Structure 1
Amino acid sequence: MHYLAAALLALALPAATQAGQPIAQRFNADPSPHYFTTQHGGKFYLYATDDASNSGKYWDSTSWRLYTSPDMKTWTDTGIPLDVTVFKWARADAKAWAPEAVQRNGRYYFYAPVGGDKIGVAISDRPDGGFADARGTPLVDKARDANAGDEPIDPAVFVDKDGQAYLYFGTRVPKVVKLKADMISLDGPILDVALEDLPPSDPKKKYGEAPFLHERKGTYYFTFSTGWPGQIVYATGSSPLGPFAYRGVVLDYLKISTNHQAIVEHGGKSWLFYHDSLLPGGGSHRRSIAIAPLEYESDGRIRQVPLHAR
């Protein structure tokens, strides 16, 4: 990019969106970002795994963290929106892993992988707290549900233009299942997400974890991490159920064991949220969420996000 053009682009972007800059001085990971409009107006809500409260040796935190921003320039740590004790059916050693949230039906739904073998759903009238177990039982249960996979974790919800909601999750084999309009019930069988055209010359180009779907101009973009460590790559399709054909890399390997992405499109702009080792003392178990602008080529291809020096 020409120097002047790059400088103008940097001035046009919110300060917190410069790739490689943590959104907070607290360890956090597994971003679930959203723009929610409430009675008090609209702003960005970012739900996260709270790496600051884990042991530093494993992903063993038991509560989630919420950050908010009016403009993505500055983020406020609003504390704990809920923890695993909301789910009375959860095992005593349950951990709070990568979360998801959705605003619908005038309420807020929080999807939580609990214990590595179940996904719960909590509900609240507010996005920042007051969450209660919506079912009293897991939404997805490895022991109960056919084809739930080895690890039903990393939930991501996509609501299509026709109102149909889809839940994506899973490690090693991506899963998808329709949700009923109540957002707390499965609507049909759990299916495998079909991925096509993965590069046979690169055995590392396979699905690992962190499924995420977004739609742009009629094309469905399925992004995911290729493993441990993994790139963030993407595939595209004409249906939320797939199949999805591999297209390329969104974010290259980072010097940590995991990566987990989400994409927000608001006000005509797109942003990639991810995590990396960015703060002093950081690492694979003490990660930090960062944001980078996401851009597309004229044919719809995603431009690979450059990694800035750290």
Structure 2
Amino acid sequence: MKKRFYFPALTAFPVSIFLLIGCQQRSSQSADGDGDPRFEGAISQPLVSHSYTADPSAHVFEGKIYVYPSHDIDAGTPENDNGDHFDMRDYHVFSMDSVGGEVTDHGVALKLEDIPWAGRQLWAPDAAHKNGKYYFYFPAKDKQDIFRIGVATSDKPTGPFAAEPEPIQGSFSMDPTVFTDTDSTSYLYFGGIWGGQLQRWASGEYDPQGSSTDLENDSLPALTPKVARLTDDMLQFAEAVRDVLILDENGQPLLTGDHDRRFFEGSWMHKYKDNYYLSYSTGDTHQLVYAIGDNPYGPFTYQGVIMTPVIGWTTHHSIVEHGGKWWLFYHDTQLSGGKTHLRNIKVTELQYDNDGRIRTINPYRNADPI
């Protein structure tokens, strides 16, 4: 099997101001992407152009869209397969009244030095609202260089957020996403292989000498995302972590070698017409795909592709309803001209067929993204 290079999905850079979606005025950071023919057919333009942003988790709070991305910086960290060059150090929160309106950068919401247990690498986050408070979930490597998931709280959706002194007990890996069901029960989904370290937990315990990835074991069931119900205070797991099983059309678990459909990272959960949609990145084949189940735990049956590959290697997304439409938030590397660790968030409309299937989106009408 050919070697597959992986650079995990994750974060961006400071400066606060108002920005217009599809802004045509490029900052110095955006110059590298100007005139790049690969982006000429892009179906949407960067939401933020004054800094690099990635992994957008979008939510509607009190009728307004809030986006919680990671914050890419050019830290000068050498590039490698474990993603050490994704050396993000803080988070910003962005908001807009509606898609197409002004985008506001609310400044630094949380930074590395204010997280007592964290050592480095603030990767893709998420947020939730409950009990009159806002909760911000984030992965970071602890002082032993093991990814854990932390939580921080605020009275405002924009922060600043105050981190709990310790990570969530029993948490590991990366890419946390919170789903709150119609009965007000909240669940945390997480996990990502390779640089995200999920494969090091295959035995139930952390194995620092474990396989660098499971991508070579083609005939075995693929590693799955994880899920746990959250406590009422949203600060801990209320139960043991469970596997999120993803099945093929014959009811069999997707295999490791099924690179076009298997889970890799970046899971997201949303509900549409009483069905639960688990979406995620296939990682080394760079697609956003989805599977459907009848409850938050699954199992979920694979359905198809949401979005074909973006330029920039990694793919990470969120799906939210607002203004009577559904929206897909995602990222590519238009501003940096294709540099994998300097990304920009985007948004486009998501549409369903009458039977609930999601229509596949090509992010570039006139260009080959590979």
Scaled to the shorter chain, the TM-score interval is 0.7 to 0.9
2:46 pairs with one of 19, 22, 26: 22
Q: Distance in 1 between matches of 2:53 and 2:259?
A: 30
Partner residue, 1:168: 189
Matched positions, count: 282
Higher relative contact order (CA 8 A, sep 6+): 2
1:35 pairs with one of 44, 60, 73: 60
Deviation (angstroms), 1:24: 1.2
2:112 pairs with one of 62, 84, 90: 84
Q: Distance in 2 between matches of 1:100 and 1:271?
A: 16
- 1:159-238 to 2 correspondence within 5 Å? 159-172=180-193, 173-197=224-248, 202-238=258-294
Deviation (angstroms), 1:15: 6.1
Q: Distance in 2 between matches of 1:199 and 1:256?
A: 26
Deviation (angstroms), 1:120: 0.4
- Cα deviation, 1:61-111, whole Å, max 9, x if unaligned, reads 1101221111222212222111122220122xx111001011111111000
Partner residue, 1:65: 92
Cα RMSD for the two superposed structures: 2.2
Q: Which runs of 4+ in 1 moved over 4 A?
A: 14-18, 198-202
Q: Distance in 2 between matches of 1:275 and 1:24?
A: 11
Q: For residue 175 of structure 2, what is the amino acid of its counterpart?
A: D
Moved more, 216-225 or 192-201: 192-201
Q: Distance in 2 between matches of 1:79 and 1:53?
A: 19
Gaps of 5+ in 1: 1-13
Task: Indicate conservation of the 8 Å contact 2:246/2:254, yes or no.
Answer: no
- Cα deviation, 1:189-243, whole Å, max 9, x if unaligned, reads 0001000007779543211000100001100000000013420000000000000
1:250 matched to 2:306: yes
Moved more, 20-29 or 161-170: 20-29
Q: Distance in 2 between matches of 1:133 and 1:15?
A: 31
Gaps of 5+ in 2: 1-19, 24-41, 80-84, 194-223
Q: Distance in 1 between matches of 2:73 and 2:118?
A: 22
Q: For residue 127 of structure 1, what is the amino acid of its counterpart?
A: P
- Cα deviation, 1:142-179, whole Å, max 9, x if unaligned, reads xxx3xx5xx61000000001111000000143000000
- Cα deviation, 1:242-277, whole Å, max 9, x if unaligned, reads 000000000112232211010011232100001111
Aligned to 1:274, what secondary structure does the other structure show?
A: strand
Q: For residue 67 of structure 1, what is the amino acid of its counterpart?
A: F
Q: Between the two proteins, what is the percent identity of the paired residues?
A: 39
Q: For residue 34 of structure 1, what is the amino acid of its counterpart?
A: H
